[in-house]
Amino acid sequence: MANSIARYEFSERLADILGESRRDLRFRVTLMVSSGLVAAGPRGRGSPPATPEYAAQLLIGAMAAPQQAQTVEAIRCYGALQPRAVAAGSDVPRVLFGPAPVAGEEAPHELTIRLDGLRFVDALAGVLELACAEETRAIVASEFFGVWVNRACPVAALQFSTFRQGRRAVISHTYGLAADAAPPAWLDPQRGGAVDPGLFHSVFLPVRKMLEIGLVTTLSDDNRSSSMIKKLGHKVAAIARMAELAAKTPHGKRWEKLLSALAAVQAWSDQVDAQEHRLCEVVDFGSNPGELRMLTYLPANLPKNAPLVVVLHGCTQSAASYNKGAGWSTLADRHGFALLFPQQQWNNNPLRCFNWFRPEDNERERGEPVSIRQMVDKLLGEQQLDRRRVYVTGTSSGGAMTAVLLATYPEVFAGGAILAGVPYRAANGLQEGLETIFVGRSRSPCEWGDLVRAASPHRGPWPKLSVWHGDADTAVKPVNAEEILKQWTDLHGLALSPTIETRVDGHARRVWLAADGDELIESYTIAGMAHGAAIDPGAAPHQCGTAAPFFNAVGISSTHRIAEFWGLCGERAGACQAPAGAFDGVATATADAAPANSGVTREGEHLARDDRPGAAGSASGAASAEPAGAADDPRSASRPFGLDVHGIIAASLQAAGLLKGDQRRSSGSAPLGIDVPAIVSTALEAAGVLKGIAARSAPANSEARLKAAGWQGSGWEMLHGDARAFRGGAMLYGCVASGEAGTVGARTSTIARRLTLGERPELSYVRRLDLSAAVNDYTSASFRVLVDGVVVDEVTAIGMLHQENEWLRRPGIDLARFAHRTVVLTLEVAAYANSYSPVQARAWVDDITIHSAVDVIRC
């Protein structure tokens, strides 16, 4: 047996997971035994094991019964619920995220977990069985969403996260009474149903708690050989083999944890692959002994002799998902260089990792390194790129393969960047590979250097190197970064101690300089960061990427910093600048202060944000399932009469030579780390100067504030000074309802404003939603963002409830198709009810930012 938890202990653990009293669960178990629902057994060591079937019954009793005495009837009634016979089309309850694809509806993504034809109790037991088994737990984490039970009506649902209509979706597989079945007594008037109406509510159990329950459920050998586990696909079987192999090592628990994380990475990667089409595949590029795929990204108007960057993804990632997370194509558009994305195939590695640990794939003229070298030669020849400026970077297994390429073909690459990787030749085989990533392998600098020198006939000069690692990384131990530095300082003939030690955006940076002052090696240690790449999502020139599993929004962009280290950010400099007459950097227009048609050219236009005097204007992120956001910009404080007082002070100090012109953050290039403009601005606020001006300029009511900010429409408000706002200041609030007061059908509320877009416009905003449409399979509630009537972002709940209890940032929404146009930006909430039961859509929106907005025109 995988676990040995008996029923008595299981009820104690389940009570803790559900937040119920242990006495309550004990009484429910007593009722189950006394009614004959489960066989009696001794307490303590002799107690029968808590199998998935037993766990499912007790869980239904705890979730469905309004009162303890109704536990047995709840289990019998809800456990026997039958799957609803619904069509495969649009009438499945679901929540859809993101706009529909331009090409039209796509086929739904096939779920790995299949529970067809099972009663509710059997289906629930099947999910617990998969959550209990090591080889399938990661699949539950990636596909399952939660369990929903309605105590006011004998219906229940198992909800899954998947793709439908080309968008990420939560699909609800519902269960209801059979045609000849009676409802439970507390809902049956003929049997005296008179339960307290206050107990009639829905109960939801998220996947996180289901996994916890699975971990304390006993999986017998009979369960392990059941059809539920066997019916899963080949990828699951491959991961199961990896888990079985790793379980025999001292690091089995760490490997299991990493596999669970990789399942989430794979789920996000699959979502991106279903939507992203920026990369182009090249088929014929050589003999390809490593059997890799070649994908490329070439920006428009790529200059002749442009640099080339080779980008290597991590395990379970793809070229497209890594590009979206790291933001390399965004940077390539800005600075004019080509991108090459080698992609591993599932049949080469069961986790789609690059095989950096296998001798046949980490030596010169063999395997995967040769395939990547052939891709480089193909692109250099066809695109007339600069052979002297070829660079390579990667994260995790891609970082390890970056070390392999820099060692085996150092004459090809001018520089490299290893993120969360390991040194070259740190392992020989999978077993040593696991030992390396979980523990590390220590050698002297000379020993490490000799391994690279033996990998090729090259004797210098060696590529420059950037090394990044999070100090909280449990997947690849941070000591590996120090061993990489040993290897490369020895190759460059440098001392192990750095020439310069400093802090950038709060994180430690070390630099090793050549005799002529050139930076040869740099190392970033990201405080508090787990495994993956450091990113800083947003629209500013130093920001790019998207927060996702293994892409950590920590306020510093490794992508931008690496390109800057290689000298790529000087390419196509105009692409990073605002049009003539623009402010230097991101300018803002407060939601209730400056007139919308000020006529000032802006590189970044904030359309709804915090307007408190002295408050930071750009959010660093929201605490949410998908945390992301732009870094705080001290110039974006309150702007009475549309004046950026902080920016004016900064410009004055720069003109006087007292402040560096490239200051972006107070912790960056400010003298001695002191943000002088912020101090002066704060002093003015303390004296009441700025507050007095702001108070005199504030519109009198919500409607006036909307008009002052350029918005027009109905059903929306500008909430001013609301404590619930993202930063405590102003925010937009929209609400619409259907099914109330005798009204049914579609109801919509919108607000809109005009703006003119520049060359590469992107939209970002933060939101909180409350979409209540759980009336029947046809009621719906939605929130949409439209540009000229085209949906660019959307959340739609159909037959379900969707609530976002914390602020969620939506960064980097591409508006390139509207470039150089005057457009109408619209926010919309909509509700549809087909009966006199209320359906409601509510949205709170803040910090709306348009990157590359030329001007704003009053509606």
Annotated catalytic sites, by residue? 396
Element containing residue 604 per DSSP (H, E): strand 604-608
Alpha carbons 857 and 822: distance in angstroms, whole number: 9
Token pair listed for 377:
């030669």
CB-based contacts of 216, cutoff 8 Å, min separation 6: 3, 5, 9, 10, 13, 14, 17, 50
Torsion over CA: 609, 612, 616, 619 (sign): negative
CB 530 within 8 A of CB 552: yes
3-state DSSP: the chain helix, strand, coil percent, rounded to 5?
A: 35, 25, 40
Q: Which residues of 240-277 are buried (b: 16+ CB within 10 A; e: fewer)?
A: bebbeebeeeebbebbbebbbbbbbbbbbbbbbbbbbe
SS3 138: helix
The b-or-e profile of 603-640 (16+ CB within 10 A means b, else e) is bbbbbbbbbbbbebbbbbbbebebbbbbbbbbbbbbbb
Measured CA to CA in angstroms, residue 708 lies from 111, 400, 615, 717, 725 at distances of 49, 54, 20, 13, 19
SS3 assignment, position 511: strand
Cβ within 8 Å of residue 711, ≥6 positions away: 718, 732, 751, 752, 753, 859
Tokens of 51: 């199998």
- Cα 471 off chain centre by: 20
Q: Which two tokens stand for residue 774?
A: 């759980």
User: What is the separation, in whole angstroms, between the first and last Cα of the chain?
Assistant: 69
Q: Under a CB-based contact definition with an 8 Å cutoff, are residues 277 and 295 in contact?
A: no
| 128: enclosing H helix or E strand | helix 120-132
Phi, psi of 453 (to 5 degrees): -65, -30
Contact assessment for residue 638 and residue 594, using Cβ atoms and an 8 Å cutoff: no
Q: Give the residue carrying structure tokens 């037959």.
A: 799
What is the distance between the alpha carbons of residues 665 and 675, in angstroms, rounded to a whole number?
8
Contacts of 83 by beta carbon, 8 Å cutoff, 6+ apart: 115, 116, 117, 118, 119, 120, 123, 173, 174, 175
Count the neighbouring beta carbons within 10 Å of the beta carbon of residue 351: 21
Nearest to 848 by CA among 716, 704, 658: 716
Closest by alpha carbon to 481, among 532, 543, 418? 418
* CB neighbour class for 3 (10 Å; exposed up to 12, middle 13-18, buried from 19): middle
Which residue, among 468, 465, 488, has the nearest Cα to 478 in the 3D structure? 468
Q: Give the 3-state secondary structure of residue 826.
A: strand
Q: Contact 777/855 with Cβ under 8 angstroms?
A: no
CA 255 – CA 247 distance, rounded (Å): 8
**Rounded CA gap, 827 and 793, in Å?**
10
Instruction: Tell me whether strands 604-608 and 839-857 are parallel, antiparallel or unpaired.
Output: antiparallel
Cis amide leading into 461 (omega within 30): yes
Q: Is the dihedral of CA 354, 359, 360, 363 positive or negative?
A: positive
Task: Mark 440-470 as b/e (b = at least 16 C-beta within 10 Å).
Answer: bbebebeebbbebbebbebeeebbbbbbbbb
